[in-house]
Amino acid sequence: MILRLLQRLLVLVLSLAVASVVVFGFMRVLPGDPARVALGVNASAAAVEQLRTQFGLDRPVLVQYLDWVGGLLRLDPGIEFVSKAAIGPQIADRLQVTVWLVVVSMVLALAIALPVGLWMAVRHRHWDGVALSALSQVGVAIPAFLAGIVLISVFAVRLRWVPAGGWVVPAQDPVGFVQRLALPALSLALVQAAVLARYIRSAVLDVLREDFLRTARAKGLRPVQALVRHGLRNAAVPVVTVLGLQLATLLIGAVVIERVFVIPGLGSLLLDSVAKRELLTVQAVVMVLVVAVLVINFVVDLLYLLIDPRLRAGAR
């Protein structure tokens, strides 16, 4: 068990190191000089060179990389070229917004997908199970931003139940916070719930065909009782895998949803920084997203060990 944890931790550290190299290298091969972009096309060569020296762009690439990684470890990714604003506080403020959006969306997706997926599996031979399965397939095909636009047109424009966008700090206005979070979270949750419900259906159907579940029913348990007592844990392993992927997808999908609903999250910061050619900010935000995805995968690996005792036995 401990050896398996150490192995997974080592894989995480190596993955983070490789990801940092890839992100840093990708930003360095992009066309354009950040110093020239910051000063404008009419700036003199001497001014551009002075700014390059100020930001360390004239140093060897390896030195720049080590300095950047050191700043990340100190939670200080540097300052922007154009505005001279510190990048770290901006990411910290925007990350809180994105975390709220992703966590609430994931909770909503689970709340929808679990009962729907179980119902589709248990009732897969009945009309209601078939209808839900068809509806989930339609949900898989709908992109989150399109769902967001539809929700805005119905609930914000026509019915005027909630605002169409914006953001309010929860400590300042809890009601306004919930109203502005409802539509973007629901637009992300509906699409992810459709995908997750189909995986839950498949996993539960596989378990329903297992011999141990037939034995449990033969001993007098009703199908639902046998599934709850003996089947859900076996169905949980593939579902947890998909859940980790869905959480990573939500994190990346929030980039577009934040733009649709005018939410000042990490995705909006990324798109704004790309538009302004703030490569240091883009580099830092991309690295934060990569770290989040890798950490999610690491947590999923740990959940495998908690759910499946066979993996714990094999890890000894």
| 143 domain residue, yes or no | yes
Residue 290 lies in a domain: yes
> Using one digit for the tens of pLDDT, what is the confidence trace for 80-116?
877 788 888 999 999 999 999 999 998 999 899 888 9
H-type alpha helices, the chain: 2-28, 34-39, 45-54, 61-73, 87-122, 127-141, 144-151, 174-208, 211-218, 223-226, 232-260, 266-276, 279-307, 309-315
pLDDT at 18: 92
Domain that holds residue 254: 87-315
pLDDT digits (tens, 9 = 90+) for 279-290: 888 889 999 988
Q: Is residue 75 part of a domain?
A: no
| pLDDT reported for residue 2 | 72
Report in angstroms the alpha-carbon separations of 279 from 16, 61, 201, 253. 20, 15, 44, 21
Whether 264 is in a domain gets the answer yes
Q: What is the CATH number of the domain that holds 285?
A: 1.10.3720.10
Within-domain flag for 223:
yes
Number of domains making up the chain:
1
